Amino acid sequence: DAEITQSPRHKITETGRQVTLACHQTWNHNNMFWYRQDLGHGLRLIHYSYGVQDTNKGEVSDGYSVSRSNTEDLPLTLESAASSQTSVYFCASSERGRVNNEQFFGPGTRLTVL
Amino acid sequence: KNEVEQSPQNLTAQEGEFITINCSYSVGISALHWLQQHPGGGIVSLFMLSSGKKKHGRLIATINIQEKHSSLHITASHPRDSAVYICAVYGGTSYGKLTFGQGTILTVHP
């Protein structure tokens, strides 16, 4: 069955380190998204991509970057981790080509920055 | 004021009760998602709708585009329905990107 996976599921790192969170989907979806979820803020969009070589900033993109070299993967990199980036991160994907696209979410990565 | 408002923020029910969660939005939309998140768990899409009503098992979702309002109903609630329910909308001019409500925490007691 097609699915969307994230790794690692849990990560503890130190301030200043570079961290990369992986997202892989097997639906062949063109659209992929990264969100963070925090108490009091709900889900917020970090970066998104509508296809290979396409990346766009979301509402909370500072300190994060993404790259899209193939359809299946959209890794999220924290260039220099900060304690404010402690959060749960969700990746999602959706089919391109229609306005109303259902998004499918990964299981999440819990990141702690000490 | 958030573009997507959910009510109530917290809801406690007894097993078997009929439950309604409301979502109001202030922008024009092309579609609306209802999502479910169990404690410590991932996010699951329950419905996506742009008009009318959809039903899946004990769950029913309705939307009124003119009134900018959607409801999620759970009939014969069960403790396993305990979760956070999130409303999210696709803005009319924003392709592919969702705007989320803050979520409604539902607890169903046996």
H helix intervals, A1-114: none
pLDDT of residue B20: 98
**DSSP category for residue B57:** T
Alpha carbon distance, N-terminus to C-terminus of chain A: 37
What pLDDT is recorded for position B41?
81
Q: How confident is the model at residue A98 (pLDDT cuts 50, 70, 90)?
A: low
- Contacts with A48 from chain B: Cβ below 8 Å: 96-97
**Taking 80 as the threshold, does the pLDDT of residue B92 lie above it?**
no
Answer whether the bond into residue A107 is a cis peptide, omega within 30°.
no
A to B CB pairs, distance under 8 Å = 54
Section B41-67 average pLDDT: 93
B35 neighbourhood in chain A, CB within 8 Å: 105
B28 contacts chain A (CB < 8 A)? no
Q: Which chain A residues are closer than 8 Å to B41 by Cβ?
A: 107-108
CA distance B35 to B106: 13
